[in-house]
Each structure stands twice: as C-alpha cells, then as structure tokens.
Amino acid sequence: MKKFVILIAIITMLAVNLGLYGQEKGMAQVEPEIKLELIWEKEIPEGIADVAIDKTRGGLFCPAVVVTGNCENAREILFFDTLGRIERRMKLKEWTQVRISDNGKYIGIMHPEKWDGEFHYGPVEIIDLSGNFVKKVGTVYGTWWWVSPKGDEVIVKDVWSDDDIYYFKGTPGKDRVNLTTGEGDVTMFAGIPAIKWSGVKNGYLQIGNKVVTPSPDGNYVTFVKYMAGGNGYVDHLLLYTRDGRLVRKFNLNKGGSLFTIFSPDSRFSVAVVENLVFLIDVENKKILWKYESNDQHQALNRSSTIDFSSSPPFYIAGVFHHHEHLGPKLRDEKIIIFSQQGKVILDTIITKTLDTIGKNILRINQKGDMLCYVTGRKIRVFRLRRAQ
C-alpha cells in the first residue's frame, strides 16, 4: 500500500509539472503507470438481485451479502466472509422480494402471503448484515418499495394511482405523501414537495419528480434540471442546501443521462453526462476540471458505477461503456481512474460485451487498493498494482 501511495504521488506531481489538470479532447495522453489485477471472481448463474458492500471490511473486498434471483423473485441470501467464501445461506420461498438499504446496512425481506393475480404481497422482515432480526413491518404491495438507512422504516409506492403516492410502514405517526399534489406527510423543498426518510438528517428519496443525490455530511443535495440549449436540451446540475436553498446551478452544456455522486467527505461532487466527466468543488461552488473522452459514444454504465477513493491517495473510478447501437462487439466496458487533478491514470477494457441485466455496481474499499465490480451475474475484485 505504501508503494502505491508513493506511486500516485509521483503521478500527481508529473501531472502538475506537465500542466495536465484536465483531459480535454485532443490533448496528449500520458501512459498510465498503474494497472488493475483481477484477484477474485465469482459467477452467480441465477442472477444477482442486490448486494451489500462494506467498504471498511478487511481482507478480500467482496460483497458482505449477495441476493440471488431478481427483484420480483429472490432465491437466496448469501453471506460472504472476508476470504470470499460463503459462510451462510438463507433459502427463500418462491416470489420472495428482498431490498437492501442504500447504505448497505439493512436487508428487507417481503414474505409472500397472498397473490392477487398480478402482484405477490406480504409483511416485511428487516434484518442486519449478520442476519439478526431487527423489525417486522406491515404488508407491502407491488415491487416499488425501499428500506430506510436506519432499518426502522419501509416506503412503498402506490402502483395503481396516477399520482405519485408513497406509504410509510413501520414508523408511528407517518402516513403517506402525494408528491403530485403536495398533500400528506411531505416536506417542502424550495417550494417543491419532497419525500424523505424519517429521522435521517438528509435522507431525501425524491424531490418532485427528480431523484436526488444527498451528500454524506447531510448538508447538500444535487439533482438535474433539463433546460433549452442549442438545438435541444442540456443538463443543469442544481446544488441545494438540505433546507432547500439553491447554492449554484452548473450548466454542463450537454444533454443526456446525468449521474452524480459526492465524495465521502462531501468536499467534491462528480457529474457524468455522456462522454463528459466534471469534478465540482462543493465548498467553493465551482467546476475544477472537465474530462472529455475522444469516444463521443462513451458513457457511464449506471449511476452506481462511479466511486471515490475514501482515503489518500484521492482518485475517482468509474465503469464506462461504448453505447453506439451498432452491435454487441462495440458494447465494451472499461474502468477509467482519474486523479484529483483530472489526469487519467488508468484506462483499461475489462469486458468486450456489456452485461445489461441486473445490478451494476462499482465500489472502492476504504484503503483505496481494491475495487469490487458487480454485474448481473458476476462479481469481480481487482487490485491496483504498478504497471510493468
């Protein structure tokens, strides 16, 4: 690890000396000096519905929990040890649904008791990552439901209403919200009705019809607004305080699927749209650098496939793919790693064809020396190493 830190420091100093603070289209590229080494992989033939990844775990950086099957019919819950071995299996009844909280700490298991000809429904049992019972909450109906980051609450979306209605389960005094009309147990966010978890400082799920990204420290949220620009629409990234005050509107000058994530210390936010990557200084409210790929069809796989190293050396890693619809041979996927100055320190293809089914998640461990990449049927763990 010490050698790796020194290596990154050397790369960063070189980037500063050469003035390579950002990678714009057509700029000279420096040969990366680190590579990824695949050290462990496991295939799940029945599919991966969800995973819980603990970034602080020692040993092999594989998921602590893997849910097999799919979101409507989970098969098993697998508990992995720090050597990548399955130490426990929890078999599930057919048509059981399983959800893992966004922070990866709690597992909700919907036990199917009835079927109305379209949906299975039943009560939810919440457990922790060790499989210990936490709480049982009321019946959920349909497949749009989520478990709170505190493991004490479930929110269910009404699948039959034309309005955007959500019901709270497990929290006394909480009833429902209607984001379409702004009625019920809602929070008003800058004049827009918002839904959030109970008792969580910045646990917004949705503001109006926008999915939001909260900062880890609870002080900010970001979401996208599409505005007219050029011959179509371009993305504007809106940075708000948690109480609804607009801090800054960033015009990204390009339209497309916009993905964002905050760094663990909430100092930075990364925004990715099509073949552009931006690093934003949250405190100083400015874009530090912009990277533009030479491949105009390059895009981030999913919002869940970009992550920050949470400790020195600082870097950002993401899984990108070529999304031009000209055949499967062009739908490759690669891992790109950026330094804090925007220099590409690694750009390597890991798969020639894109796995579009199920979960796609990339996470970096707390030490910053291993990456875990989960796709619809496969889990891979990579170690960063010095290039030969």
Type and span of the H or E element at 65: strand 65-69
CB hemisphere CA count around 237 (13 angstroms):
29
In a domain, 164, yes or no: yes
In the predicted model, residues of the chain with pLDDT beneath 50 are 1-31
| Residue 6 placed within a domain | no
Q: What are phi and psi of 345, to 5 degrees?
A: -105, -5
* 148: nearest Cα among 159, 139, 137: 137
Contact 120, 112 (CB under 8 A): yes
61 lies in some domain: yes
Residue 43 domain-assigned (yes or no):
yes
Beta-strand relationship, 370-374 and 361-364: antiparallel
225: tokens are: 């607004």
Question: Does the reported pTM lie above 0.85?
Answer: yes
22 in any annotated domain: no
Interval 251-295: pLDDT, tens: 998 888 889 999 999 999 999 999 999 999 999 999 999 999 998
DSSP state of 15: H
Closest CA to 51 of 93, 104, 14: 104
pLDDT for 28 equals 35
* Phi–psi pair at 81, nearest 5 degrees: -90, 180
Question: Which pLDDT tens digit goes with each residue over 222-244?
Answer: 988 888 776 778 889 999 998 88
The CATH number assigned to the domain holding 50 equals: 2.130.10.10
User: What domain range includes position 57?
Assistant: 32-386
Number of Cα atoms under 13 Å in the Cβ half of residue 215: 22
Asked if 368 and 345 touch (Cβ cutoff 8 Å), the reply is: no
How far is CA 291 from each of CA 227, 239, 300, 337, rounded to the nearest angstrom? 22, 20, 13, 11
Instruction: Tell me if residue 329 falls in helix, strand or coil.
Output: helix
The answer to whether residue 24 is domain-embedded is no
- pLDDT of 33 reads 67
Number of structural domains, the chain?
Answer: 1
Distance CA 251, CA 163 (A): 31
Residue 16 lies in a domain: no
Which residues, at least 6 apart from 160, have a Cβ–Cβ distance to it below 8 Å? none
Position 12 scores a pLDDT of 43
Determine the longest span between alpha carbons in the chain, in angstroms: 66
The pLDDT value recorded for residue 10 is 36
Report if residue 362 sits inside a domain. Answer: yes
End-to-end CA distance of the chain: 17
- The DSSP line for 308-319 is E-SSSSPEEEEE
